[in-house]
Structure 1
Amino acid sequence: MSSLSVMSLITKLAAIIAGIFTQPTVYPTSVMPQDTIVDFIVVGAGSAGSVVAGRLSEVPEWEVLVLEAGGQPPTFTKIPFLHFASAFPNVSFVNKYPTIAPKYSSQFGVLTDPRYTTGKMVGGSGAINQMVHNRGNPQDYDNWAQLGNPGWDWETVLKYFKKSEDYRSPMKPRDAPFRGIGGPMSVQKLGWMPPVGRLAIQAGMEVGLPEIDYNTDTKIGSTILQLATRNGERESSADAFLMPNMQRKNLKLQINSQVIKIILNKNNDAIGVKYVHKNKVKRVFARREVIISAGGADTPKLLMLSGIGPREQLRKLGIDTRVDLPGVGQNYQDHVSLRGIGWTIHPNISSSLLEQISPSAMLRYQRSRDGPLSVPVGMCASYLLNVHNPDEPTVPDIQVFLFCALDGQDYGLFSLSGYQESVQEYYRPTLGRDGFFMLPMLSRPKSVGTVTLKSRNPFDPPVLDHNSLSHPDDVELMVKAAKASLKLGNAKIFRRALGAEPLKKPIPGCAHLEFQSDDYWRCFVRGMANVMAHISGTCKMAPDSDPMGVVTPRLIVRGVRNLRIMDASIMPQIVSGNTNAPVIMIGERGADLIKEDYGKIKL
């Protein structure tokens, strides 16, 4: 049986498991008549759009319509363990956008078909991600403010992080002022972990990293990951902000409705959108505003299709330029990470894939929503370190994720799917072996890429060029990150308790260099590094003095009235961690900015 056939079979098995153990989330939906008029149109029911719509509907006299390109989320997205189902071929609930072959990273052809995956369903990418809830570093937001974006400093945004959060794990007294209790979104520490994860904090302490809560003001240390889960199930922002409010008469959701153009009047006011629903082009109009929350790839694409973007690029495609905004689709930033730094351990100490979906694991999940099915596969802890910047020793420049499994441990069925033959050969000695690996990630990469249009056809994917490792500083920092990862994995506690042994085989393509020398690591980094699918910055927020700015600090698109953007694309600089929690914050603050502009609240 081919690997694709096996994956297809497991996809069906996942659906069966989910059907037995969870109830599907079915969002009440509407079908709007042609030329409907509402107060606010929100494009996208993902991590930001769901927040914006839910919060705006708190004003009873405002009619809010959410248009989502995808459909209802599959039932198995609720089970944390099954998050990897988005990687299966031919699934309808994701977009898989091709990326330009990178020039500076993935030089060993790490993946045969590199694609950027986003969620295409109610909940968006927050319904398929690994659920890691990480606000980033306080300095990230102070930097945003210093770039000319008042109201986006740490002190201000912390209020919104707390507002959205219902923190459900024990906390130390010093951390309590930074946590939110009773908000819509459940956040809790990872529960079940295999033995490797239970030793993570001790390993960090060996190298001088204290245990911290990374969602407070602490910066350097070891941490168990925090997840957006509730009672052992994924909680997307749609679950938290949309579903509980769908009984409101002023909130409507229409699915399977891809927006293809923002409608502008002769004064460049946004007055509505065109969308395709059941193969028909329809329109809906906004009395007040249109809010775009389509994500870092699709938001700049929609703006450019609507004539808002770089004039020269639009001219080449025959698109009439309504507003010349050269920054649309520029400033593409993404975290870059490095695979391949692993350790084997004694047999039967870790939890194999088969053990994690065993009848006992399923029964445990059914009875108590606990055990291996209640957590995402692999990632369980992380280390925040400063390895390169002595001027700011308390600010981490890398994050190292501990994966409590080893690439190839599943015999390559999932972990090596899509990898080139030479890379699979590198992993061959680990097939079926218990182990773990460290995944270092650059917190603030300097490399930037672009998002451009392929054509005028709104159903063509955007052209994504992440351009990772194009800045030489990123390569040198990743070399230091690799060494730091090796030091962490070689902690005595891992060797003593688990018999951990590092992989000592040089990777093909770098074997001609002295093993683990700086030159070897540079070669390894160029060959094996890839992006994390945290696309950000493509419609950046900036003051008027920045010619590449796309939105103002109040998230209004330059040169267009009644049009705002609220998603990861507005980040002037990418945050220092996973992007889902910051995107939820952007939705929270964006909704309050609208309420303030219409006199509903005073900030």
Structure 2
Amino acid sequence: MPHTVDYIVVGAGSAGCVLANRLSENGKYSVCLLEAGPPDRNPWIHIPIGYGKTMFHKKLNWGFYTDPDANMMGRKIYWPRGKTLGGSSSINGLIYIRGQKQDYDRWVRQGNPGWGWEDCLPYFRKLENNDLGAGPTRGTAGPLNATSIKTRHPLVEALIQSGASMGLRKLRDFNTGDQEGVGYYQLTTRKGRRCSTAVAYLNPARGRPNLRIETNAQAMAVLMQGTRACGIRYKKNGTEHTLSANREVILSAGAIQSPQLLQLSGIGPSGLLGKFGIPVVKDLDGVGKNLQDHLQIRLIYEVTQPITTNDQLRTLWGKSKIGLQWLLFRGGPLAIGINQGALFCRALPQESATPDIQFHFGTLSADMAGGAVHDFSGCTYSICQLRPESRGEINIKSADPFEAPSMQPNYLSTDLDRRTAVAGVKYARRLAAAAPMNRLMKREFRPGTAVQTDDEILQFCRENGATIFHPSGTAKMGPAGDPGSVVDGRLKVHGIQGLRVVDASIMPTLVSGNTNVPVVMIAERAADFILEDARHPAH
């Protein structure tokens, strides 16, 4: 097996699979994709509702925990991340969301020209195959499916009607840049199966002689020659290997492990690196800083009728029925997943010109996302603040690449974030009390009617809030003059040759919604940058 390739891509997740496809597409360049986890052969990966089975899977999930968070009653928060081909796109909730137009225009105002909504829109259209048909903002020829939910559910129908009664538009398409409204989500599914980036991008490229895919291969450090990245040291099957890159090393290991790899390789805050005896290659204080995540607050209601997924999963007959629906027709609940209802609104309308809250409405209920369902008919109003001000950080805890880094999210550490969380819970309660939803709500199971004052609601959020799985921002894109930035507008690491970061960590600020599709867009753009730079090295 060759020890040198043109491009090394570290991490076969939402970004890495895209890069592996695009960089090997023209046949000119050799590419090696390194993935720490196994191939994506587990059947639960491919059944849309199966992420309940992969949420705690020891081999398919990194199963991280944050440090104790003082703002969250000292709790360690579970952070699942995908560890297989497709990365987190193989274990996520399949929600197809781009975010708001203003998210990307904000990136431009933060010193990143060329990253506005109009700049990114052609790439959003390029990546997608949308069953709503072509349009000014939609694409139909891309690898990643955006599939509408065809089967109507009485709970979601009631949610839509109640949302409309509160002044929200009914929407079919939440991805035009203007997402305020209520409706059904589109999903990354194809013919009733999960359409991960491994399925969409990697499978079509697998036969190429210039693409090498290494699974169970965990990167340990970027190899450096002075300030040039020249390869990767990694471990596979208990043996250490080195692989050289003629052109570039691209880190697509995600917002936790890309900054970890940078720090292990001597690129990061010099004080932190010195603590562990790591020689400083480039003192970049922003590596690991600027961590942002969406905090999920889940309200659970008991439902008056046995129409929930709880009811279907509680009996052998119910399980058999939905299993057969999927096996025979690729339909039914297994083909959809849990969160069907979409709602974007302004919980603080006097302060937000655009939606500041997102709802994932689920037709089941459990003590935690991915947990065993309750023994009653239940539904979940999951809310999250779209643009949190709270910032945390990721830092290595030692020079050992196999030790998980310190993860400090600092949830609810600003006044705005606390007020938005409380306002979001109040909005969810108003929604549940509005007709016709109120006729289907038997009782508020959690937090329960005893929780009423703002202080009590905030305490509930602190005691029960958890990630909605969108850590971002830890290798921030920005101009060289910004002391917190890590990569430039072409995603090259400042002061280092031959090294880029391409994943959610480059987001200067978190997008207003789920991060999978924006990361695919970022990777599509990055692939063009990399190929342009190969043709014109002066870039």
TM-score range, shorter chain: over 0.9
Task: Give how far 1:189 is off.
Answer: 1.6
Q: What letter matches 2:513 in structure 1?
A: G
Q: Deviations over 1:333-387 (max 9, x none)?
A: 0001212x2322224232322369522222221121000110113x111211112
Structure 1: how far apart are the matches of 2:56 and 2:284? 37
Q: What letter matches 1:548 in structure 2?
A: G
Matched residues, number: 534
Contact in 1 for aligned 2:161/2:435 (Cα 8 Å): no
> Unpaired runs of 5+ in structure 1?
1-31, 418-430
Residues 435, 277 of structure 1: alpha-carbon distance in 2 compared, 3 angstrom cutoff: closer
Equivalent residue for 1:549, pick from 475, 485, 499: 485
Residues 70, 203 of structure 1: alpha-carbon distance in 2 compared, 3 angstrom cutoff: same
Structure 1: how far apart are the matches of 2:37 and 2:521? 23
Kindly indicate whether residue 8 of structure 2 is the aligned counterpart of residue 41 of structure 1: yes
Task: Give how far 1:219 is off.
Answer: 2.8
Q: Which runs of 4+ in 1 moved over 4 A?
A: 504-507
Normalised by the size of structure 2, how large is the TM-score? 0.94
* Aligned counterparts, 1:107-256, within 5 A: 107=73, 109=75, 114-168=77-131, 170=132, 176-192=135-151, 194-212=153-171, 213-256=173-216
In structure 2, what is the equivalent of residue 345 of structure 1?
A: 303
Q: CA RMSD in A?
A: 2.2
Q: Deviations over 1:164-216 (max 9, x none)?
A: 10012x36xxx821111011111112234542123222121111111122111
In structure 1, what is the equivalent of residue 420 of structure 2?
A: 477
Equivalent residue for 2:53, pick from 85, 93, 108: 85
Contact in 1 for aligned 2:393/2:408 (Cα 8 Å): yes
Contact in 2 for aligned 1:297/1:451 (Cα 8 Å): yes
Task: Give how far 1:505 is off.
Answer: 7.4
Task: Give how far 1:390 is off.
Answer: 2.9
- Tell me the secondary structure at the aligned position of residue 503 of structure 1: strand
Kindly indicate whether residue 371 of structure 2 is the aligned counterpart of residue 415 of structure 1: yes
Structure 2: how far apart are the matches of 1:564 and 1:369? 40
Structure 1: how far apart are the matches of 2:515 and 2:285? 25
- Tell me the secondary structure at the aligned position of residue 232 of structure 2: strand
Task: Give how far 1:389 is off.
Answer: 4.6
Equivalent residue for 1:594, pick from 527, 530, 537: 530
Structure 1: how far apart are the matches of 2:55 and 2:395? 24
Structure 1: how far apart are the matches of 2:84 and 2:318? 26
Q: What letter matches 2:4 in structure 1?
A: I
Contact in 2 for aligned 1:194/1:350 (Cα 8 Å): no
- Tell me the secondary structure at the aligned position of residue 546 of structure 1: coil
Kindly indicate whether residue 332 of structure 2 is the aligned counterpart of residue 374 of structure 1: no
Q: Identity of aligned pairs, percent?
A: 37
Structure 1: how far apart are the matches of 2:62 and 2:496? 28
Q: What letter matches 2:107 in structure 1?
A: W
Kindly indicate whether residue 388 of structure 2 is the aligned counterpart of residue 441 of structure 1: no
> Unpaired runs of 5+ in structure 2?
none
- Tell me the secondary structure at the aligned position of residue 441 of structure 1: strand
Q: Deviations over 1:400-457 (max 9, x none)?
A: 221212336xxx996369xxxxxxxxxxxxx522132211100000001010011111
Structure 2: how far apart are the matches of 1:404 and 1:108? 31
Q: What letter matches 2:531 in structure 1?
A: K
Q: What letter matches 1:585 in structure 2?
A: M
In structure 2, what is the equivalent of residue 467 of structure 1?
A: 410
Normalised by the size of structure 1, how large is the TM-score? 0.85
In structure 1, what is the equivalent of residue 31 of structure 2?
A: 64
Q: Deviations over 1:306-338 (max 9, x none)?
A: 000000000011111111000000001000121
Structure 2: how far apart are the matches of 1:60 and 1:585? 22
Contact in 2 for aligned 1:52/1:588 (Cα 8 Å): yes
Contact in 2 for aligned 1:295/1:568 (Cα 8 Å): yes
Contact in 2 for aligned 1:289/1:562 (Cα 8 Å): yes
- Tell me the secondary structure at the aligned position of residue 247 of structure 2: strand
Kindly indicate whether residue 503 of structure 2 is the aligned counterpart of residue 561 of structure 1: no
In structure 2, what is the equivalent of residue 576 of structure 1?
A: 512
In structure 1, what is the equivalent of residue 260 of structure 2?
A: 301
Structure 1: how far apart are the matches of 2:505 and 2:18? 16
Q: What letter matches 2:128 in structure 1?
A: E
Task: Give how far 1:537 is off.
Answer: 0.3
